[in-house]
Amino acid sequence: MAFAAGGRLAAAVSQGGGLGLIGGGYGNRDWLDAQFDHAAGAAVGCGFITWSLERSPDVLEHVLQRHPRAILLSFGDPRRLAPHVHAAGVPLLCQVQNRTDAELALEAGADVIIAQGGEAGGHGDRRGTLTLVPEIADLIAQSSGETLLCAAGGIADGRGLAAALVLGADGVLVGSRLWATVEANVSDPMHAAALAASGDGTLRTSVMDIARGLDWPDRFTARVLRNRFTDEWHGRETELRESRADPGKAWSEGWSAGDPDRSNTFVGEAVGLIGAIEPAAEVIERMVAEAATLLGSSSLLQQGGGRR
């Protein structure tokens, strides 16, 4: 949720009963300061791309001075950065995409592990949420019973929340559905493109990272809405790298303009479950109420998932 999840959205989520996270992305210090200011003292955390943060660990120290409610690390080995988070007394959340990632997160002393399935929007890997979550739940139960588990990837309503709890999660991390809220830093045209799409309209690709010159590890692609840019370049990654036409410049101009055809709309398969752009607090309240009805009792929501 880099850039889309600014301080305003994070604050709205926290004030609505969740834990809002500022999408720290690639670690722009000035942008992060501005977003913590926008949060206006709300209890919010901050998420980072691990492999990028390792190149600028001073950014982590800087954010820790803003007293975040939690730090989330994803896409890389968290063990080198974790001691800094623990030393600050801040809860550590680690998002993982397979079992090996989860084992590393446990070694890092994660307070919460987030099992992210490939249905998720933005960057991720290949495992599906439906099987990854219970596998990680079993791993945690066997080795670290105090660690909490959240599910991510394709969760956009009360049905997804209820399913995650039944699978053994203690909660959920919601991306695309909160991306589609009035508080998110998302252009109106990109919101409109998402509302018009179904889950069939997304794909996993690396072309936008190549165009931006971002050296993401090969295992991580990003799920985005298909558009003119992906139609032209997906499957032609080598040509894109060697292109003299500088498609990256055109992509960046489209991104700055909020154009969903020239750049990319970072949403997951859950886009087909989104029918309106609403306040974040309303989304959270409805999800919890729907899940409570489906499960027949609100007690499971209060106590965590079926794992304990």
Q: In degrees to the nearest 10, what's the CA dihedral of 98, 199, 176, 238?
A: 60
Quote the DSSP letter at residue 58: H
For the residues 232-251, what does the mean pLDDT come to?
A: 89
Given a cut of 60, whether residue 307 has pLDDT beyond it is no
Residue identified by tokens 């492999």 is 51
| pTM, 2 dp | 0.93
* Tokens at 196, concatenated: 């018009």
Which is it for the CA torsion 83, 305, 161, 123, positive or negative? positive
Position 297 confidence tier, pLDDT thresholds 50, 70, 90:
low
DSSP assignment of 148-183: EEEEESS--SHHHHHHHHHHT-SEEE--HHHHTBTT
For the residues 104-112, what does the mean pLDDT come to?
A: 98
For the residues 154-179, what does the mean pLDDT come to?
A: 98
**Using one digit for the tens of pLDDT, what is the confidence trace for 18-50?**
999 999 999 899 999 999 999 999 999 999 999
The confidence score (pLDDT) of residue 136 equals: 98
The confidence score (pLDDT) of residue 239 equals: 92
> What are the residues whose beta carbons fall under 8 Å from the beta carbon of 209, sequence distance 6 or more?
215, 216, 222
The confidence score (pLDDT) of residue 247 equals: 85
The identity of residue 185, as a single letter, is: N
Given a cut of 60, whether residue 178 has pLDDT beyond it is yes
The identity of residue 146, as a single letter, is: E
> What are the residues whose beta carbons fall under 8 Å from the beta carbon of 232, sequence distance 6 or more?
none
Q: In degrees to the nearest 10, what's the CA dihedral of 267, 28, 49, 282?
A: -40
**Using one digit for the tens of pLDDT, what is the confidence trace for 122-136?**
999 999 999 999 999
The confidence score (pLDDT) of residue 228 equals: 94
Neighbours of 241 (CB within 10 A): 11
**Using one digit for the tens of pLDDT, what is the confidence trace for 179-218?**
999 999 999 999 999 999 999 999 999 999 999 999 999 9
Q: Which CATH number fits domain 7-184+278-303: 3.40.50.2020, 3.20.20.70, 3.30.1740.10, 3.40.50.720?
A: 3.20.20.70
The ranges assigned to domains in the chain are 7-184+278-303, 188-270
* Percent of the chain whose pLDDT exceeds 70: 96
Quote the DSSP letter at residue 126: S
CB 176 within 8 A of CB 274: yes
For the residues 251-274, what does the mean pLDDT come to?
A: 95
The confidence score (pLDDT) of residue 299 equals: 55
Separation between Cα atoms, residue 218 and residue 237, nearest integer Å: 12
CB 2 within 8 A of CB 21: no
95: left (phi over 0), alpha (psi -120 to 50) or beta: beta
Given a cut of 80, whether residue 308 has pLDDT beyond it is no
The backbone torsions φ and ψ at residue 15, rounded to the nearest 5 degrees and listed phi first, read -70, -20
- E-only strand ranges, the chain: 21-23, 45-49, 71-74, 92-96, 112-116, 122-124, 148-152, 171-173, 202-205, 221-225
Which is it for the CA torsion 97, 98, 100, 103, positive or negative? positive
The confidence score (pLDDT) of residue 175 equals: 97
